[in-house]
Amino acid sequence: MTDQVGGHVRAAVIGCGFGGLGAAVRLRREGVRDLLVLEAAGSLGGTWRENTYPGAACDIPSHLYSYSFAPNPHWPRAFAAQPDILAYLERVADTFGVRPHLRLHTTVTAARWQPERARWHLTTNRGELTADLLVTAAGMHSAPKIPDIPGLDTFPGTHFHSACWDHDQDLTGRRVAVVGTGASATQIVPALQPAVRQVLLFQRHAPWVLPKFDRPYPRAERRLYDRLPALRLLQRGRFWAVGEVRSDLLTRRLRQLTLAEKLVAGHLRLAVRDPDLRRKLRPDYRMGCKRVTFSNTFYPALGKENVELIASGLARVEGATLIGQDGSRHEADTIVFATGFHNVGRPITRRIAAADGTTLAEAWDKTGGIRALRGTTMDGFPNLLMMGGPQAVSSSSSKVLMIEAQLDYLGDYVRHLDRLGGPGGGVALDPEPGAVRAWNATMRRKLTRTVWETGCDSPYLDHEGRDVTHWPGTTTAFRRATRQVDLGEYRVVRAVRETAA
């Protein structure tokens, strides 16, 4: 994809992971052929292109972690590995004709609303363009986070984030420090343990770890899924139902969550025989307040002789010596930061500006925090839709289900624009500030009763301790909330004057 970027299009999409690719497919289905998908990297895939660390895999069942309009009966196992998910996204792009619209190596450096034309003006590293509709799908995991560790610049070895894995480094026989114990770390540590000299795991907070009911799908079973779609749908429905129950526990039934915590604590007792290690691995916060991880190999790996758990964060670095917050000192050759991403305040929000130049990030600061109408649109930013926006993420079910709900909203949005403006465009929808405030008030009221605001150090909270990420309910409830656009929640904005494109 070497085509230059320029001219005017009906719609522009930023990013081509699950959200951006899904948006492109849906826009094409709505008859939008004048479409560009702007991807900063050299290939599509988003999270599943970037995260190539050892052991990278999904913790949502494969049949649920896929588009309903693009089922895959050929998943090789119950929980797909990174290469299989990336290959699936590549096939979807081919099957649904997205590639001709894709512009790789294209970074959006600025986007500003032009009220006189009722369109967006985008500046990229490969040219400028305008678009009637802008969809941003730069997801939650697009900006890796490395903590500011004093003395890190004195470290003589290599260090990198798990999402930027340095495959040129042969870690065989090395002393590797892994900082963090989230979902990535629970996959990385078991994958590294057999090959390296030592694994040092720096843990600020013990994770809640549930068994992962993973298994390969035999070829005969895959053939059945291919020939009997009802069987595959049954599997998908079963996994969906389990996710809905988990969502309900985290958002409405915290008393019943206590029973689930006891069951998981029993799993820890069975998996870890060393009482001292088991004590270090006992979480001190409610299950679900931080992301729950799924693994059958993490606890066994921690019991190996060449793995040491340091039950404190990494405080500072002095040359090759890593010093924990507990004062302990450890020698290492390589540091892997499995420290997550900037989930709150994504970088793209500092590049998208309203007509007066106020960026989305600045607008949120001025209005009391991150918020959106139905997790998708923001007042003052007409014809801008955000995939996986504020309160549009599920931590206990498939993000693809949430994305597809937003795709329904996007489809209805486009149909409204067509009816209001016709093929010539010049019309936009801008959320009413009152509607956004009312929606945000409802979200705040519900979120205060969820597990995410029970006091843990969660990466999904803003500086005031408010969850600005999660949907406080089931995926079914979110689908109902985004089934169609309510024009009563919007102002119709028209071009100030007609200008030739």
Whether the per-residue pLDDT at 141 is higher than 80: the answer is no
* CB-count exposure of residue 296 (10 Å: 0-12, 13-18, 19+): middle
Residue 135 burial (CB count, 10 A): 29
- DSSP assigned state of 359: B
Average pLDDT over residues 478-490: 97
What does the pLDDT look like over 18-33, one tens digit per residue?
999 999 999 999 999 9
pLDDT-derived band at 500, boundaries 50, 70, 90: very low
Which pLDDT belongs to residue 499?
44
Neighbours of 355 (CB within 10 A): 13
- Report d(CA 96, CA 90) in Å as an integer: 10
**Dihedral (CA of 210, 211, 216, 221) sign:** negative
* CA gap 101, 318 in Å, rounded: 49
The string of DSSP letters for 47-94 reads: HHHH---TT-B-SS-TTTSS-TTS--TT-SBSS-BHHHHHHHHHHHHH
Contact 149, 161 (CB under 8 A): no
The residues facing 9 across adjacent strands are: 131
Render 336-349 in DSSP notation, one character per residue.
EE---B--SS-GGG
* Residue 2's pLDDT band (cuts 50, 70, 90): very low
C-alpha dist (Å) from residue 4 to 7, 28, 257, 436 = 10, 21, 53, 37
Residue 294: is it exposed, middle or buried by C-beta count within 10 angstroms (0-12/13-18/19+)?
buried
The pLDDT assigned to 1 comes to 42
Q: How confident is the model at residue 3 (pLDDT cuts 50, 70, 90)?
A: low
The answer on pLDDT for 342 being more than 80 is no
Q: Are 140 and 15 in contact (CB under 8 A)?
A: no
Per DSSP, helices labelled H in 180-253 are 183-192, 219-227, 229-251
Contact 60, 398 (CB under 8 A): yes
Examine the pLDDT at 433 and tell me if it is beyond 70.
yes
Interior/surface letters 227-263, b for 16+ CB within 10 angstroms, e for the rest = eeeeebeebbeebbeebbebbbbbbbebeebeebeee
Task: With beta carbons less than 8 A apart as the criterion, state whether 128 and 106 touch.
Answer: no
pTM of the predicted structure, to 2 decimals: 0.94
Residue 71 pLDDT: 96
Q: How far is CA 192 from the centre of its chain?
A: 25
- Least-confidence region, from 59-63, 121-125, 151-155, 287-291: 287-291
CA-to-CA distance for 238 and 369, rounded, in angstroms? Answer: 37
Q: Among residues of the chain, what percentage have pLDDT more than 70?
A: 97
277: part of which helix (H) or strand (E)?
helix 275-280
Q: pLDDT digit string (tens) for 292-324?
A: 899 999 999 999 999 999 999 999 999 999 999
